[in-house]
């Protein structure tokens, strides 16, 4: 449903409460008073006990307006709050549909198993009637700036820039209590309850584009729509920080969540990986959540990692350095040039170190001179200035004097004022701006910087999107598909070890040689050929996952007599004739391994497949933790996974080929990406010795699943299946592919090349450039919800340049897709526009998008002719624009089916009406802003 109707949820004109109210309805009385305080006479009661009763607590309230049933209300209701039991709620949803209610908050929770049936009916009927549901077990929301409060909290939080979204109302209560003590305000507070409809993804999509939201805080117990959540987070986290607490770190707490919400929660370590991948900062406690929110809602994002420090107290410098070290932040050393320049201002015992100590007698001018030197050196992205305030220091003068130099040097300034705090609070509020912060304790300042650095690092990780197909390696997907389909067709979910290793070999994963043997004589001949020592195993499918526990493995067999004894033992212990029918497997013994690793993939109940890496063998008893990551994985992410294990330290003590391990992880990831049927896969152990790697045992468990690749993944890979090599009309080659973050510079160059007319129709202004923030949103897109394809050619100087882009943008506010196309002026009429439109329509069809739309300026005759051949029709006229739409069916559409385009073009081409041009103007903001905002236009087809 996108985020349809949520604007009415947060800014309703008319509100109603429905229930059976009597003198015991204490909570409802508080809610009613809160609603009346902000919406006055537009708050209604629907009392199913009847209006005007003596036991109704609202009868005596002046101005109360009560009706016996919903459809009797005098105006259309934007928001209805229900305290009815869930058994009565399906019928209530039907009434909502009839009365035009937009949103329904359900305050009651489940009380029995019958409520599962009621839940399905409620959700289905609400979806049919386009009624949004918040609940179950939700108190609703608070918007402090409006004084709007649907909760039973009698004291509202202060207004601020932080949005708080939580499944638990009790957790919200504890956060608000702490916020009141710390004088922290909120823009929005939302209780989601059990996520039957409106969920975290919807709220992040909506609040992420609200102007007065600077930071979003989450309390998460579980997620119903993981892909939507991660997609929304990746989209919003690029422009606003998101901080989360995740409940359910152990099996008991996850069981409580399941009982509490009715839905199971995934493994905590998988959540950790997913939140990290989506650019979310995870914290552990409520105070930490609030501290992070305050820091990130008031601090600018650092431009880099380099932090400098200036102080008039050596002791406080030590304290600050220690605080930062505990937070994982290191200060870089000063260059020799800067040290020399600072000699005239620093004390002899400071030693030219960072922090720079300028002594306790430093006056305004010394501070100003030293800060200017530090800024002009170009060695810092952020400068922290610690001041023990004294009678001869004027901090306001220092800040205002430094401000221009800091802006020119692109350095964020963080000031710490110590001493006489109360006298300077009002002054500090006046001085804070986008590049200047003021704190009154070292702990506050260091924590704030650490949180902003975590966000800075998260932004870099959000950009990393590995491809769906890794074309640097070769695989035998056809044979792998035969193995998997064959086993499932035979009703088997577990591979034998030979089958598992053949599957791994299809993806060039290293396995030790494995030979099937059905008799002892076969085993003896193979052993002689391999050379002793060898390993003998049972290959029964039902024992694959528990061979060692069932005595199905004999290691280190060094003689033929030992082999005979092992054969006899396995035959007797593992089922006699059944073993001989299933056969045994013989392998060479891998004796000189340095490390044993446990590498593989499992399927999480919420997030789907994930990769894990841990220590195997004896080390597993010492280091029990696994590192996990969500596929797809490239070399960069593979190294990140490795770095979260003890392996980097092991490699220093006893080196092995780390790049080869990265490759193995990437290949394993590709197998998991290609085959949703793989439920579990283990290389246990994967033995490592220098450059040698071998999976001496392999286990594969399958599942029947109707979802095709890559839809089983919760993170959408870079869609390199949408890469095309084509030729233009003059025969030149053009490469069409999805846009990447590294296309930013080529995109800047393309925009700079636009003519005045193209630039005007693209941006509705004659500005020659776009902001860095706009470029980030153009090139760092979320492939799950939108697509932008660029046309690349090699120019006469051998450089690859961008000559056109076609974009398909998803707008969650109305759950629709808008396209936008632009071609460089000097590459128009080459056929590239037609190629980009054909490919975009093909991609939309592949993604099962039902329709796409765009806006054509009313004087754009050439554009009308261009879209006509692709089957677009005129849906409506909006002032000087035409709204065009293409319904995407399984077959190609034809212009003859759309005479309205011909008619519209003919009407506009009459003399004296509109001059013709060749520019399409469409809303092409890569991530949709608030409803109705048209921030970017692209045009000019071939």
pLDDT 10s digits, 646-686:
999 888 888 999 999 999 999 999 999 999 999 999 998 89
- The confidence score (pLDDT) of residue 921 equals 37
Structure-derived torsion over alpha carbons of residues 886, 890, 893, 898, reported in degrees to the nearest 10 = -50
- Using CA atoms, how far apart are residues 898 and 401, in angstroms rounded to an integer? 65
- The confidence score (pLDDT) of residue 783 equals 85
Place of tokens 């086993």: 487
- The confidence score (pLDDT) of residue 911 equals 30
Q: To which H or E segment does residue 193 belong?
A: none
b/e code 242-252 from CB counts within 10 Å (16+ = b): bbbbbbbeeee
Pairing state between β 281-282 and 242-246:
parallel
Question: How many C-beta neighbours within 10 Å does residue 919 have?
Answer: 24
- The confidence score (pLDDT) of residue 471 equals 64
Pairing state between β 79-82 and 103-106:
parallel
- Using CA atoms, how far apart are residues 858 and 877, in angstroms rounded to an integer? 9
Q: What is the largest CA-CA distance in the chain?
A: 103
Given a contact cutoff of 8 angstroms between Cβ atoms, the answer to whether 140 and 191 are in contact is: yes
Token output for 811: 């707008």
- Omega of the bond prior to 355 within 30 degrees of 0, cis? yes
- The confidence score (pLDDT) of residue 446 equals 93
C-alpha distances in angstroms, 598 versus 320, 623, 687?
41, 12, 9
| Residue spans of the chain under pLDDT 50 | 578-580, 764, 890-942
According to DSSP, the residues that pair with 588 across neighbouring strands are 534
Q: Which residues, in sequence order, are CB contacts of 103 under 8 Å at separation 6+?
A: 5, 6, 8, 9, 12, 78, 79, 80, 131, 132, 133, 134
Token output for 227: 């892909």
- Using CA atoms, how far apart are residues 866 and 872, in angstroms rounded to an integer? 9
- Using CA atoms, how far apart are residues 128 and 384, in angstroms rounded to an integer? 56
Half-sphere exposure of 148 (CA within 13 A, CB side): 21
- Using CA atoms, how far apart are residues 785 and 720, in angstroms rounded to an integer? 16
Q: Which residues, in sequence order, are CB contacts of 785 under 8 Å at separation 6+?
A: 231, 235, 810, 812
Write down the H helix ranges in 343-433: 364-376, 395-409, 421-431
Token output for 366: 């010394």
- Using CA atoms, how far apart are residues 440 and 460, in angstroms rounded to an integer? 31
511 in helix, strand or coil? strand
Q: To which H or E segment does residue 694 belong?
A: strand 692-695
pTM value? 0.83
């Amino acid at each position: 449903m996108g985020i349809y109707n949520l604007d009415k949820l947060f800014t309703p004109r008319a509100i109603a409460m429905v229930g059976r109210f009597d003198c015991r309805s204490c909570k409802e009385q508080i809610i009613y008073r809160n609603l009346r305080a902000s919406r006055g006479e537009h708050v209604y009661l629907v009392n199913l006990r009847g209006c005007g009763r003596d036991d109704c607590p609202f009868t005596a309230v002046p101005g109360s307006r009560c009706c016996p049933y919903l459809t009797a209300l005098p105006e259309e209701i934007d928001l209805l709050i229900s305290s009815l039991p869930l058994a009565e709620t399906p019928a209530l949803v039907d009434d909502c549909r009839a009365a035009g209610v937009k949103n329904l908050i359900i305050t009651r929770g489940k009380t029995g198993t019958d409520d599962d049936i009621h839940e399905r009916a409620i959700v289905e009927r609400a979806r049919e009637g386009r009624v949004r549901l918040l609940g179950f077990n939700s108190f609703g929301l608070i918007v402090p700036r409006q004084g709007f409060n649907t909760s039973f909290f009698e004291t509202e939080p202060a207004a601020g820039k932080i949005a708080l979204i939580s499944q638990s109302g009790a957790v919200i209560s504890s956060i608000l209590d702490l916020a009141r003590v710390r004088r922290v305000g909120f823009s929005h507070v939302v209780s989601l309850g059990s996520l039957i409809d409106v969920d975290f993804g919807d709220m992040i999509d909506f609040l992420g584009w609200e102007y007065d939201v600077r930071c979003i805080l989450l309390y998460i117990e579980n997620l119903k729509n993981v892909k939507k959540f991660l997609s929304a987070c990746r989209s919003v986290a690029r422009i606003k920080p998101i901080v989360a607490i995740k409940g359910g770190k152990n099996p008991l707490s996850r069981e409580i969540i399941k009982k509490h919400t009715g839905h199971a929660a995934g493994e905590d370590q998988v959540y950790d990986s997913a939140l990290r991948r989506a650019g979310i900062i995870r914290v552990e406690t409520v105070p930490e959540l609030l501290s992070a929110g305050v820091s990130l809602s008031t601090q600018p994002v650092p431009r880099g990692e380099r932090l400098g420090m200036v102080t008039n107290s050596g002791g406080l410098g030590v304290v600050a350095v220690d605080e930062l070290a505990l937070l994982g932040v290191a200060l870089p050393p000063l260059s020799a040039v800067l040290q020399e320049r600072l000699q005239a201002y620093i004390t002899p015992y400071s030693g030219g170190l960072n922090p720079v100590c300028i002594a306790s007698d430093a006056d305004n001018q010394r501070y100003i001179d030293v800060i200017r030197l530090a800024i002009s050196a170009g060695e810092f992205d952020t400068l922290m200035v610690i001041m023990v305030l004294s009678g001869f220091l004027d901090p306001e003068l220092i800040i205002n004097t430094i401000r221009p130099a800091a802006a020119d040097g692109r350095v964020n300034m963080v000031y710490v004022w110590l001493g006489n705090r109360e006298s300077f609070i009002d002054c500090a509020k006046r001085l804070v701006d986008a590049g200047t912060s003021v704190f009154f304790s070292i702990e506050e300042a260091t924590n704030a910087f650490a949180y902003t650095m975590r966000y800075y690092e998260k932004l870099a990780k959000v950009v990393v999107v590995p491809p769906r197909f890794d074309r640097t390696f070769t695989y035998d997907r056809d044979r792998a598909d035969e193995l998997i389909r064959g086993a499932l067709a035979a009703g088997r979910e577990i591979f034998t070890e030979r089958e598992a290793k053949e599957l791994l070999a299809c993806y060039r994963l290293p396995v030790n040689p494995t030979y099937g043997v059905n008799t002892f004589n076969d085993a003896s001949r193979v052993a002689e050929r391999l050379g002793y020592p060898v390993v003998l195993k049972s290959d029964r499918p039902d024992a694959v996952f528990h061979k060692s526990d069932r005595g199905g493995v004999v290691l280190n067999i060094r003689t033929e007599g030992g082999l005979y004894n092992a054969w006899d033992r396995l035959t007797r212990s593992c089922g006699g004739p059944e073993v001989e029918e299933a056969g045994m497997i013989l392998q060479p013994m891998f004796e000189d391994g340095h490390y044993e690793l446990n590498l593989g993939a499992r399927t999480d109940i919420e997030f789907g497949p994930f990769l894990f890496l841990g220590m195997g063998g004896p080390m597993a008893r010492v280091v029990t933790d696994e590192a996990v990551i969500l596929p797809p994985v490239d070399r960069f992410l593979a190294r990140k996974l490795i770095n979260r294990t003890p392996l980097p330290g092991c490699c220093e003590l006893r080196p092995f080929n780390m790049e080869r391990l990265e490759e193995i992880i990437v290949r394993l990831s590709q197998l998991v990406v290609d085959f949703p049927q793989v439920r579990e896969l283990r290389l246990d152990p994967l033995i490592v010795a220098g450059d040698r790697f071998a999976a001496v045992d392999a286990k594969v468990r399958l599942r029947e699943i109707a979802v095709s690749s890559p839809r089983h993944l919760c993170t959408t890979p870079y869609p390199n299946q949408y890469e095309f090599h084509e030729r233009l009309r003059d025969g030149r080659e053009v490469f069409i592919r999805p846009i990447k973050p590294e296309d930013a510079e080529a995109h800047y160059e393309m925009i700079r090349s636009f003519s005045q007319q193209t630039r005007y129709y693209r941006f509705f202004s004659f500005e020659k450039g776009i902001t860095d923030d706009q470029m980030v949103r153009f090139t760092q897109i979320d492939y799950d919800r939108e697509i932008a394809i660029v046309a690349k050619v090699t120019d006469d100087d051998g450089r690859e340049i961008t000559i056109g882009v076609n974009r398909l943008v998803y707008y969650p506010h109305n759950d629709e897709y808008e396209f936008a196309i632009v071609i460089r002026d000097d590459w128009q009429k080459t056929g590239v526009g037609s190629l980009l439109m054909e490919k975009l329509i093909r991609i939309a069809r592949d993604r099962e998008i039902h329709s796409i739309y765009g806006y054509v300026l009313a004087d754009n005759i050439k554009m009308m002719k261009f879209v006509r051949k692709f089957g677009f029709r005129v849906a409506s006229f909006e002032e000087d624009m035409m709204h065009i739409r293409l319904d995407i069916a399984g077959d190609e559409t034809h212009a003859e089916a759309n005479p309205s385009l011909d008619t519209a073009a003919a009407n506009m081409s009459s003399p004296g009406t509109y001059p013709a041009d060749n520019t399409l103007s469409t809303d092409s903001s890569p991530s949709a802003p608030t409803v109705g905002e048209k921030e970017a236009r692209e045009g000019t087809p071939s």
